[in-house]
A and B are shown apart, each in its own frame.
Chain A
Amino acid sequence: MNTRAPAVEARQLIKTYPGDVTALGGMDLTVAPGTVFGLLGPNGAGKSTTVKILTTLARPDSGTATVAGHDVLRHPDRVRRAIGVVAQHSGADPVATGRENLQLQGRLYGLRGSTLERRVDALLERFALADAARRPVKGYSGGMRRRLDVALGLVHRPEVLFLDEPTTGLDPEARAAMWEEIGRLAGEEGLTILLTTHYLEEADRLAERIAIVDRGRIVVEGTPDSLKGELRGDAVHVELREPVGEAGRALLTAALTAVPGVHEVLCEGRRISVRADDGAASVPALLAALDRAGAGVASATVARPSLDDVYLRHAGRHYAGAGADTALAGLAGGVR
Chain B
Amino acid sequence: MSTAVTQTWYMTQRQLRVFARQPAYAVITLIQPVIWLFLFGSLFRKVVRLGGFGTTSYLDYLVPGVVVMSALGANMWAGMGTLEEIQRGTLDRFLTTPVSRAALMNGNVVNNGLVTAFQSVVIVLLGLLGGADYPGGVGGIVLLVLASVLLGTVFGALSNALGMVVRERESIIGINTFLLLPLTFLSSAFMAPAQMPGWMRDIADFNPVNWAMVAGRSAMSERPDWGDVLGRGGALLALAVAAVWLSIRTVRSYQRSV
- Bound together, the chains give a CA A105 to CA B93 distance in angstroms of 9
Residue A81 is within 8 A (CB to CB) of chain B in the complex: yes
- Cβ–Cβ < 8 Å partners of B92 in chain A: 57, 87, 89, 91
Contact, CB under 8 Å: A152 / B255: no
On whether the beta carbons of B91 and A91 are closer than 8 Å, the reply is: yes
Chain B nearest Cβ from A68, distance in angstroms = 13
A30 interface residue (CB < 8 Å to B): no
With A56-B96, A58-B258, A108-B10 in contact, do A95 and B18 touch (Cβ < 8 Å)?
Answer: yes
The CA of A91 and the CA of B93, in the complex, are separated in Å by 7
CB contacts under 8 Å to A, within B53-111, are 85, 87-99
B side interface size, CB within 8 A: 25
A312 in contact (CB, < 8 A): no
Interface residues of A in 221-239 (CB under 8 A from B): none
Contact present for B93 and A85 (CB under 8 Å): yes
Report how far A58 CA is from B253 CA in the complex, Å.
10
Given A52-B258, A57-B258, A95-B22: A108 in contact with B17 (beta carbons within 8 A):
no
| Interface status of B223 (Cβ within 8 A of chain A) | no
Q: Are A108 and B96 in contact (CB under 8 A)?
A: no
B88 nearest CB neighbor, chain A only: A91
Residues on B with C-beta less than 8 A from A100 are 17
Main SS at interface, chain A: loop
Counting CB contacts under 8 A, is A255 at the interface?
A: no
Could you tell me the distance between the alpha carbons of A57 and B257 in the complex, rounded to whole angstroms? 10
Closest to B91 in A: A91
A107 proximal to B (CB < 8 A): yes
Q: B14: CB under 8 A from chain A? A: yes
Question: Does A77 sit within 8 A of B, measured CB to CB?
Answer: yes
Most buried by A among B17, B89, B98: B98
A209 CB-CB contact with B under 8 Å: no
- Asked whether any CB of chain B lies closer than 8 Å to the CB of A90, the reply is yes
| CB-CB under 8 A for A108 and B95, given A89-B89, A91-B88 | no
The residues of A that contact B7 with a CB separation of less than 8 Å are 107-108
**A1-26 interface mask toward B, CB cutoff 8 Å, 1 = contact, 0 = none?**
00000000000000000100000000
Given contacts A91-B88, A108-B94, 12 further A-B contacts (CB under 8 A): A56-B96, A57-B258, A58-B258, A80-B98, A85-B96, A87-B92, A90-B89, A91-B93, A105-B97, A108-B99, A110-B98, A152-B93
The 8 listed contacts between A and B (C-beta, < 8 Å) are: A57-B92, A57-B95, A58-B256, A80-B96, A80-B98, A87-B92, A91-B89, A136-B21
Instruction: Name B residues whose Cβ lies closer than 8 Å to a Cβ of A.
Output: 7, 10, 14, 17-18, 21-22, 85, 87-99, 255-258
